[in-house]
Structure 1
Amino acid sequence: MPNQKQAMFFGLATVLLWSTVATAFKLALRDLAPVQMLLIACVSSIAVMAVILMLQGRWSQVFQLNRRQYIQSFGMGLINPCLYYFVLFGAFDRLPAQEAQPLNYTWALVLAYLSVPFLGQRLRRLDIIAGLICYTGVVVIATRGAVTSLSFSDPLGVALAIASTLVWASYWIIATRDTRDPVVGLFLNFVFGLPVITLICWWTEGFSLGSGTAFGAAIYVGVFEMGVAFVLWSYAMKKAENTSRVSNLIFISPFLSLVFIYFILGEQILPSTYVGLVLIMAGLWLQQVKVRNRERGLANEA
């Protein structure tokens, strides 16, 4: 199979997994507090990533890093999984899945904005226009269509969803200076983050496995959203001859996610969700024009 076809296959598999996680979040959070869900998911993710590293013959790399890299693992673990997923699960705990999920997708735009002061990239007029379109969609979803009143359905839930995009974008900016193998690095982040999550869970909510459905959903999140999906997407980007074609697959995910939310969770999808989601995806697509133009230019130079 040619590399680009393999890349598209891995990309589509990742998108399918991403499309199911909003539903899994809500199923787990029916009986678990966000930190309890995070603890179960984190343990599951560590287990599956350990297996992946062993199957790939890279397990020994876990023990071959220097002291600075292990300290880095602890610092990055405090951001992901600790802070990011605690904030994200808090948003899903308060908002319907059809609202929390599209808001979280704006992290890619936040990343472009934060790259200006922290990575020295230029902010173009196109980025500003894309931001206006995206955040118009955010307001439409957060107000459930009552845009003129600016009456948010759950202000704290919306704030947590937006905050999760800031945390996630910040994590990826820090990760640009990470020289560790990606899967090894993520595994160690979770290993070092686990004691912190365990302590917080014990101190605040106590240990609970919830119902069978909630426990299973939390394991699913850890195995697939936090583990397998990351590895599949890494393969997709590594094998891609045209990364923009693979990256464009992410635009399928939020719409496919609404199908699972409707049929499994039983949420009645509001018209405002469709309108807001289309605006968010349109803004993100516009922002990606820069990436596509850069790739086209590199291809022409070659």
Structure 2
Amino acid sequence: MTEFLTKSKPINRRTLIKKAGKLYLGLLATGMIIGTYSFKVERFWYHIKEVQLKVKKLPKEFKGWKIVQFSDIHLGFHYGVEELKSVVSMINNLNPDIIFFTGDLIQIGNKEPELAMPVLQELKELRGGKWAVIGNHDFITKDTIRDVLENSQFKVLENNHDFIEYNQQRLYIAGIDDVMYGEPNIGKAVEGLSEDDCVLLLAHEPDIADESSKYPISAQFSGHSHGGQVRLPIYGPIIRQILAKKYMDGLYQVGEKKMPLYVNRGIGTTKVAIRFFCRPEITVFHLS
């Protein structure tokens, strides 16, 4: 009987070692390429994200206005004022009407936040102003951070609100203290306002939205999450921040009133100085 099937030759030890060595070198090379890309390329590949934002009770005089939000610079953690200059230039080129900064100017431990002041002062004067809140990394040097921002023409909000008036109509901007380490008080921040008012809330940590949606707030803007910073296909985000686990990236509708919440991925990094499938973000909102 003719035998058509032949047995494969056994792989000897030397061949096996060669194949294992090639696989190891291939994996090593791939890891080095990904590591270099994540550290040197994607961290500075800014995504300017355009969002059409529908806001309830928006006064007609503010329809079509443009808000630019940036967040989580983390100066001092592999990110310096030279890198920040390019972000400021991009924001200026977007010609916003209003700027929101939602916290974490520095990485905790940075003792020279004043170095950011000349760069932030280059942001253009706007008809709607520049607004900010303090983040958890800012908290230890909170007074200094506040001074840096205020001397850069930002209105720093801490459980209070103010307004933009244009053609006799008002848009209210409220902000709360850092949720993680501060004493946030949403009720105090919107004290005296009603459901008839249009109120935009700045809050560093996004997961507070479940609470803020119960108040007369038209939309919330947050950061803190870094969007997960490192994302793997199918698995999703690797780095999950406290108070940014439920709402991590992008636009949400929160609570019974479907309050819009936007979570910005931030500019800098924390914990590890890499980004993967999670580019840093500057958000442009077109109000309607």
Scaled by the length of structure 2, the TM-score of the pair is: 0.29
Scaled by the length of structure 1, the TM-score of the pair is: 0.28
Q: When you count helix as a share of all residues, which structure comes out higher?
A: 1
Q: When you count strand as a share of all residues, which structure comes out higher?
A: 2
**Whose relative contact order is higher, 1 or 2, with alpha carbons under 8 Å and at least 6 apart?**
1
